Amino acid sequence: MRLKALLTGVALATLASAASAEPYRLGVLTDMSGMNFDLAGQGSAVAARMAVEDFGGKLLGEQVEVIVGDHQNKPDVGATLARRWIDEQNVKAVIDVPTSSVAMAVQDVTRAADVAFLISTAGSSDLTGKACSPSSALWTWDTYALANGTGRAMTQEGGKSWFFITADYTFGHALERDTSEAVRSLGGEVVGAVRHPRETTDFSSYLLQAQASGADVIALANSSGDTMTAMKQAGEYGITAGGQKLAGLLLFLTDVDGVGLETAQGLTLTTGFYWDFDDQTRAWSRRFGEQMGGRMPTMVQAGVYSAVLNYLKAAEAAKTVGGTAVMSELRTMKIDDMFARNAYLREDGRLVHDMYLAQVKTPQESTERWDYYKILRTIPGEEAFKPLEQSDCPLVKK
């Protein structure tokens, strides 16, 4: 009887432990209240949850739960929230993180805790350069790829002189730097640059300086709301009508939707994903749209889905949720899905995959809302991203 009672007690304790086991949590740390909300925000959370559902909802026998936080585009807020998640809420991967300065701060936290960091919306190439981490993956795009795509294409088409209107923070600085290098490598020149704070409402002084420079190309090294505001005001000043070209170096599908095809038509851009590229992208995007009121995904929302799904596959295969170990497993895997084509993860944390050079359609060419891009060519990943031998990531063996 005593043995039976003991065994019963052990069984009940085991059941209670299993019932109270805390789920593995994936934290989507995004912009839920600022200018990146449309391009990331709730759509990034939806994409992450889709990936968890498609994987089966469990990892290593435990339930997986997606939680969402707003970093308010502030590095200190992002780092504090990431640290609290890791210490108190069993978060095993931090995901998305718009704004490169926030991503830099969060990467310091995840590196120290050996927690996976799946970066989709931030894009400074420094995240896989001097600031690289063994537990991070920069999944969707970076400033080098934009510079190498849009910058090179427009210089080769005759845009030999450039003037930059640049967001005055980490991402903008990196984008201006990387694009300037691409332009100069083809014999072009940078004739001037000005910097503006985030969420600027009046670009008139910057645009007038750019117009007066006589540059062939006025490059907007900013994003989302700033890009849309600058594009609208450039139209009011007749910049493109006067013969200068406007380059939206980081342009999202939601930006084009926001300003309209009348304003955005003809712009050249580089993207890592387009919802209407083929049957595979359309099928996934329609599923996403069903949960987003018919909105089609941006490249970073598609990137979140791909990053989370492949993270879960790698963690299951590695039989661990340790960030560095999962990234090591990811580097052994073939990565090929609706977003990542011909993809592999490098030792510096850069996911190398095909990118696309696109042009915004005219209103006459578009047949429905979200039918906004013409894909001009596929840029193979090896061409799109900085060669590994040029990396200044201390993890890269040379």
In this structure, are 137 and 164 located in the same domain? no
Residues 196 and 321 reside in one and the same domain: no
Residue 1 belongs to some domain of the structure:
no
- Whole-number Å distance between alpha carbons of 11 and 9: 5
Average pLDDT, the chain: 94
Position 1 confidence tier, pLDDT thresholds 50, 70, 90: very low
pLDDT > 70: what percent of the chain?
95
Q: Which long-range contacts (CB under 8 A, 24 or more apart) does 256-262 make?
A: 256/360, 256/372, 256/373, 257/369, 257/370, 257/372, 258/38, 258/228, 259/228, 259/231, 259/232, 261/360, 261/361, 261/362, 261/363, 261/366, 261/372, 262/363
pLDDT digits (tens, 9 = 90+) for 195-215: 999 999 999 999 999 999 999
pLDDT in tens, 306-339: 999 999 999 999 999 999 999 999 999 999 999 9
Query: Sorting pLDDT into bands at 50, 70 and 90, what band is 21?
Result: confident
Average pLDDT value for residue range 365-379: 97
**Same domain as 238, residue 308:** no
Helix (H, G, I), strand (E, B) or coil at 91: strand
Tell me, yes or no, whether 186 lies in a domain. Answer: yes
Residue 15 covered by a domain: no
Residue 213 has a CB neighbour count (10 Å cut-off) of 17
Whether residue 389 lies inside any domain: the answer is no
Inform me whether the pLDDT recorded for 7 exceeds 80: no
Residue 338 falls inside a structural domain: yes
Give the residue numbers spanning the domain of 167. Answer: 144-271+356-383
> 35 with 81, same domain?
yes
Handedness of CA 70, 74, 80, 85 (dihedral sign): positive
All residues at 6 or more sequence positions from 192 whose CB lies less than 8 Å from its CB, including other chains? 163, 164, 209, 210, 213, 215
Pick the range with the lowest mean pLDDT from 13-17, 172-176, 325-329, 354-358. 13-17
pLDDT level of residue 49 (50, 70, 90 thresholds): very high
For residue 216, the model assigns a pLDDT of: 97
Answer whether residue 116 is part of any domain: yes
Are 301 and 167 within one domain?
no
How far CA 164 is from CA of 157, 230, 248, 255, 396, in Å, comes to 18, 12, 11, 19, 32
Same domain, 135 and 153: no
Within-domain flag for 204: yes
In which element (H, E) is residue 144 found? helix 143-146
245 vs 223: CA distance, rounded Å: 18
The pLDDT of residue 133 is above 90: yes
Sign of CA dihedral 251, 252, 253, 255: negative
Same domain, 255 and 366: yes
pLDDT at 4 exceeding the cut of 60: no
Report how many domains make up the chain. Answer: 2
Residues 253 and 321 both lie in one domain: no
Q: Are residues 152 and 186 in the same domain?
A: yes
Q: Are residues 297 and 216 in the same domain?
A: no
Looking at the fold, whether 189 and 127 belong to one and the same domain comes out as no
Give the CATH number of the domain where residue 150 resides.
Answer: 3.40.50.2300
CB-facing half-sphere around the CA of 218: CA atoms within 13 A: 27
pLDDT of residue 398: 77
pLDDT score for 138 = 98
Co-location of 188 and 199 in the same domain: yes
Threshold 0.85, pTM exceeds? yes
Q: Is residue 397 part of a domain?
A: no
Segment 42-57 shows an average pLDDT of 98
